[in-house]
A and B are shown apart, each in its own frame.
Chain A
Amino acid sequence: MKNSKIQTAVLTVLITVGSIFSANAQDANTILKKMDDVMYSPKDMTGKQKIILTDKNGKQETREATMQQKGTDKRMFRFTSPASLAGIAVLSLPNDIMYLYLPAFGKERRIATSAKNQNFAGTDFSYDDMESKAYSEKYIPKLLKTEANVFVIELTPKSKSDYSKIIVNMNKTNYYPESMEYYDKGGNKIKEAKYTVKKVSNYWNAELVEMTDLKKNHKTKMQMYDVKYDTGLTDDDFTIRKLKE
C-alpha cells in the first residue's frame, strides 16, 4: 500500500514536471505557429465592426463598417457610417494589391502600396496591423518568458516594417494574444493593443481590440459583432465587381 502511494506520488511529480518541461520545450516558432492557427484558421469570415475613436480630451467618434475575409489575404472592408464615409470601400488582395472605391468618384482606384505607411482610415491601426498575413510569415519570434497564464514572445520583423519589435502576451490556453506592445526603431514603446476574445462557432474571435497610440494619447476600439465563420465566401466575393456594388 505504502509502495503504491509512493508510486502514485512519483508519477504525479513526473507528469507535472513533464508537462512544465513540455510547455517550456515548445519553441517560439511552434508557439507563434499555434497563434497563427488560432487567429487564421477559419476559411472565411463575415462581420460588422464598430470603431470608436477617442482623442486625448476624451472626445469620441464612431464609425461602422462591414468586413468580409477569405483566408489570410483577401479582404473587403466597407464603411456604413458616418455619412461622410459611408460607401467607401477597400479591397485587399494577395501581393499587396489594394483598391479603394470612393462613391463620389464612381470608380475604383488602385492604391499605392505606400498607403500602408499610414494609419487605416484615421484609426490607430496601421495597414500593417490590419493585415491578416500570418505572424510567422512576417516576424522572427523569440520566447522571452513563460508566465502563469501567458507566453511572452518578442517578434522581430523579417522585412521592412514600422516597428523594431512587437512584444506579445499570448494566452497559454487558447494561444490568442491578450496584448501586444509595439516598439519603434529607437526602441520606444509607441502603441499597445489589448484583445478581448470570445469563441464563435468553434473559432476564437477578437470581439474587441483596443489600440492605443501612446505618442498621441489617442485610442481606437474595434468591436466585432454579427461574426459568421465559414459561410462559403468565394474568390468572386473579392473582386472589383463586388467592390463597386
Chain B
Amino acid sequence: MKRIALFSIILLAVSGIIKAQDSIVTIQNYDKNDLKISGELLTDERFLLKDKNDWAWNENRLTLKLDKKITDNSKFYSEVWLRNIGLPNLSTSADLYNKGIVDPYNLEIREGYVQMFSFLTKNLDLKIGRQLIIWGTADKLNPTDNLNPYDLENILDFGRHRASDAINMNYYFNSDFSLQGVYIPFFKPANMPVGIFANALNPATELPQGMVLKEYSDNLLMPKYNLAESAVAGGKFKGMVKGVDFSLSYVWGRDGLPFSTKNTFTPVDTLGGININSQLSFARTHIIGADLATSIAGIGFWTEAAAFIPEKDVVMTNDLSVLFPLSPVPVTKDTMLLDKTKPYIKFVVGGDYNFKDGSYLNIQYLHGFIQERGNENLNDYFFLRYEKKFFNEKLTIAPIGGAFIVTDWNKIKNNYAIAYIPQVSYQATDDVEITLAAGLFDGKGDNMFANLKDYNMFMFKLKYCF
C-alpha cells in the first residue's frame, strides 16, 4: 500500500516536472511583444449642495492594467491604482514640508496574479496571487460574496471589495458544472468609509441616562497570523440545470467589520462625563450561500441568500466597575450580539428588463445591508434604476435611480430613508465618458442613508480609457 502511495507521489511529481518543462518550452517560444497595457484615468469630484458648496470628494485615479500571456495556458495580470484622493488637510506650517499632506496620494495594487489554465489536468484552472473572487448573481449587493474584504472607502460604490492574496482553483466537470476551492492565508478586515462618509456606517452610541461620552478609544484584536487562525477558505459548486444557473457555497471566514466585545467605562468628571475604551474583534463565521439566475419571459431574474453562523456567541461586555468603586466584585453587563444557535440570513431578489425603445429597468430588494448583523438588525432595501439611451447609445439618462429603506415597518414614519441618485452619462468619444449625477438623501432613524441626509451632493466624473 505504501509502495502504491509512493508511486503515486512520484508520478505526480514527474508529471509536474514534465508540465513545467512544457511551459519552459512555450515560454521560450512566446511573443515578447504580447504584453498588453491598458487602463483608465478617472476624475471623481463631488460637492455639497448646501451652504457654500463644500467639496465632498476628490479623487483622481490612474488605473494601470498589465496583461501578459505567458504560455498558451497561462497568463499574468495586474491592476494598479495610483491615486490622488481626499483634500489636503493642512494645519501647521510643518505640513507644508510634507508633500504627502499637501498633495495626498496613494498607490494600491488592486490585483496581481498568475493564472494557469488546464493545470495538471485538462479540467483544472489555478490562479495564485492577489485577486478578486466575486461570487453571487445579484448586482453589486451580494450576500454570498464574502471572501474578499469590503472596500467601503466610497460608500456610494456599493459592493466594492479589495483583492486578497489567495490560491484559487476551479475544476470543471463539464461545460455546465464546476467546483471552486479558495484558500486565503491572511484575513484582512474591511476598510471603512472616508471623508464625509466616515460615520455613515456607525450606529448611534446609546449610553445610560446621565452619561456623556467625552472620549472614545479602542483596540483591535486581530487574529494571530498562522495557517489556521488568520486563514479564510471557501468552496463553491456551480452549475446550470434547465436554463437556470445556480451555485451553492460555503465560506469559513471572518466578519470583516469588528464587533465591540468589551467596553470599559471611565468617569472623567462629576457631570456624568465618561471615557470609553473598546476592544474590537472579528468574529469567525461560517457562511452558507446559494444563488440562482435565469431569464423568464424576457425578464432577467436572480436571487441570492447567505446564512451567517458565528462560530461562537458574540457577546459585548460593558465593564462599569470604575463607576461602582465600592462594589466587591467587578460590575459588568453582558449583551448578546450574535447567538451561534441563531443564524441570520441576508438575501436579495432582483430582476431587469430591456425595453424596445432602448430603455432598461433594474429592480432589487435586499434584506440586510453590508454592515448589518443579527436577524433583528437586518433592514429592507428597495433599489430601482431606470435608464434610457439616446443618440446611438452615446447619451444615457437615468432619471430614476436610488433606494428606499425601511428600518422599522411598524414605525415607518420615523424609520425610513430615501436615496435619489439621478444620472446622465455622455460618451464624448469612443474612450471618454462624462457623468453628471446628484445624490439626494432624506430619512429618519438610525440607518446609513438617513445618516447622509446632510450631504446632498452633485457629482461629476470623467473617465478616459486607453
Q: A residues bordering B, Cβ < 8 Å?
A: 53, 55, 61-63, 82-86, 95-97, 105-107, 110-119, 122, 162, 216, 218, 235-236, 238-239, 241, 245
Q: Mind listing 9 A-B residue pairs with CB under 8 Å?
A: A83-B466, A86-B38, A106-B134, A107-B134, A111-B295, A112-B295, A112-B353, A113-B295, A114-B354
| Cβ-defined contact, B354 with A117, below 8 A | yes
| Cβ-defined contact, B175 with A110, below 8 A | no
11 additional contacts (CB under 8 A) given A110-B300, A114-B355:
A82-B430, A83-B40, A83-B430, A83-B431, A84-B427, A96-B295, A110-B293, A110-B295, A122-B392, A162-B356, A218-B392
| Cβ-defined contact, B430 with A239, below 8 A | no
| Cβ-defined contact, B431 with A113, below 8 A | no
Smallest beta-carbon distance A220→chain B, Å: 10
Q: B residues bordering A, Cβ < 8 Å?
A: 38, 40, 117, 125, 132, 134-135, 137, 170, 172, 175, 178, 240, 243, 245, 293-295, 298-302, 351-356, 358, 392-393, 427, 430-431, 433, 465-466
Instruction: List the A residue with the shortest CB-CB distance to B115.
Output: A245
State A145–B40 Cα separation when bound (angstroms): 55
Across the interface, which residues of A come within 8 angstroms of B354, CB to CB? 112, 114-118
| Cβ-defined contact, A239 with B175, below 8 A | yes
| Cβ-defined contact, A114 with B465, below 8 A | no
Across the interface, which residues of A come within 8 angstroms of B240, CB to CB? 97
Known contacts: A110-B245, A110-B293, A111-B295. The answer to whether A61 contacts B393 by CB under 8 A is no
Q: Which 6 A-B pairs have the closest CB atoms?
A: A112-B300, A114-B298, A82-B430, A83-B465, A84-B465, A114-B354
Contact of B353 among A55, A83, A105, A114 (CB under 8 A): A114
State A136–B358 Cα separation when bound (angstroms): 28
State A81–B200 Cα separation when bound (angstroms): 40
Known contacts: A106-B132, A107-B134, A112-B354. The answer to whether A245 contacts B298 by CB under 8 A is no
Across the interface, which residues of A come within 8 angstroms of B245, CB to CB? 110
| Cβ-defined contact, B356 with A53, below 8 A | no
Instruction: List the B residue with the shortest CB-CB distance to A104.
Output: B40
State A117–B358 Cα separation when bound (angstroms): 8
| Cβ-defined contact, B431 with A84, below 8 A | yes
State A5–B194 Cα separation when bound (angstroms): 100
| Cβ-defined contact, B294 with A241, below 8 A | no
State A116–B178 Cα separation when bound (angstroms): 28
Across the interface, which residues of A come within 8 angstroms of B356, CB to CB? 117-118, 162
Smallest beta-carbon distance B91→chain A, Å: 38
State A115–B354 Cα separation when bound (angstroms): 5
Smallest beta-carbon distance B193→chain A, Å: 21
| Cβ-defined contact, B298 with A113, below 8 A | yes
Instruction: List the B residue with the shortest CB-CB distance to A107.
Output: B134
State A156–B277 Cα separation when bound (angstroms): 76
| Cβ-defined contact, B358 with A114, below 8 A | no
Contact of B392 among A84, A216, A236 (CB under 8 A): A216
Instruction: List the B residue with the shortest CB-CB distance to A236.
Output: B175
Smallest beta-carbon distance A108→chain B, Å: 9
| Cβ-defined contact, A83 with B243, below 8 A | no
Across the interface, which residues of A come within 8 angstroms of B355, CB to CB? 114, 117
Instruction: List the A residue with the shortest CB-CB distance to B427.
Output: A84
Across the interface, which residues of B come within 8 angstroms of A110, CB to CB? 137, 245, 293-295, 300, 302
State A7–B465 Cα separation when bound (angstroms): 76
State A235–B172 Cα separation when bound (angstroms): 13
State A218–B390 Cα separation when bound (angstroms): 13
State A63–B40 Cα separation when bound (angstroms): 18
Smallest beta-carbon distance B150→chain A, Å: 15
State A86–B135 Cα separation when bound (angstroms): 23
Instruction: List the A residue with the shortest CB-CB distance to B39.
Output: A83
State A113–B243 Cα separation when bound (angstroms): 12
Smallest beta-carbon distance B164→chain A, Å: 13
Contact of B243 among A84, A97, A112, A162 (CB under 8 A): A97
Select the residue from B240, B354, B392, B465 with max chain A CB neighbours within 10 A. B392
Across the interface, which residues of A come within 8 angstroms of B170, CB to CB? 241
Smallest beta-carbon distance B328→chain A, Å: 59
Instruction: List the A residue with the shortest CB-CB distance to B38.
Output: A83
Smallest beta-carbon distance A137→chain B, Å: 19
Across the interface, which residues of B come within 8 angstroms of A61, CB to CB? 430
State A107–B135 Cα separation when bound (angstroms): 8
Across the interface, which residues of A come within 8 angstroms of B178, CB to CB? 241
| Cβ-defined contact, A238 with B430, below 8 A | no
State A55–B393 Cα separation when bound (angstroms): 12
Instruction: List the A residue with the shortest CB-CB distance to B394.
Output: A122
Across the interface, which residues of A come within 8 angstroms of B431, CB to CB? 82-84
State A238–B295 Cα separation when bound (angstroms): 19
Across the interface, which residues of B come within 8 angstroms of A113, CB to CB? 295, 298
Across the interface, which residues of B come within 8 angstroms of A122, CB to CB? 392-393
State A115–B300 Cα separation when bound (angstroms): 9
| Cβ-defined contact, B358 with A118, below 8 A | yes
State A61–B430 Cα separation when bound (angstroms): 7
Smallest beta-carbon distance B458→chain A, Å: 24
State A207–B431 Cα separation when bound (angstroms): 27
Smallest beta-carbon distance B294→chain A, Å: 7
Across the interface, which residues of B come within 8 angstroms of A96, CB to CB? 295
Instruction: List the A residue with the shortest CB-CB distance to B142.
Output: A107
State A245–B74 Cα separation when bound (angstroms): 10
Instruction: List the B residue with the shortest CB-CB distance to A97.
Output: B243
Instruction: List the A residue with the shortest CB-CB distance to B353.
Output: A114
Across the interface, which residues of B come within 8 angstroms of A115, CB to CB? 354
State A110–B246 Cα separation when bound (angstroms): 11
Across the interface, which residues of A come within 8 angstroms of B135, CB to CB? 107
Instruction: List the A residue with the shortest CB-CB distance to B140.
Output: A105
Contact of B300 among A63, A83, A111, A118 (CB under 8 A): A111
State A105–B125 Cα separation when bound (angstroms): 20
State A85–B135 Cα separation when bound (angstroms): 23
State A84–B430 Cα separation when bound (angstroms): 7
Across the interface, which residues of A come within 8 angstroms of B137, CB to CB? 110
Instruction: List the A residue with the shortest CB-CB distance to B67.
Output: A87
Smallest beta-carbon distance A183→chain B, Å: 16
Across the interface, which residues of A come within 8 angstroms of B427, CB to CB? 84
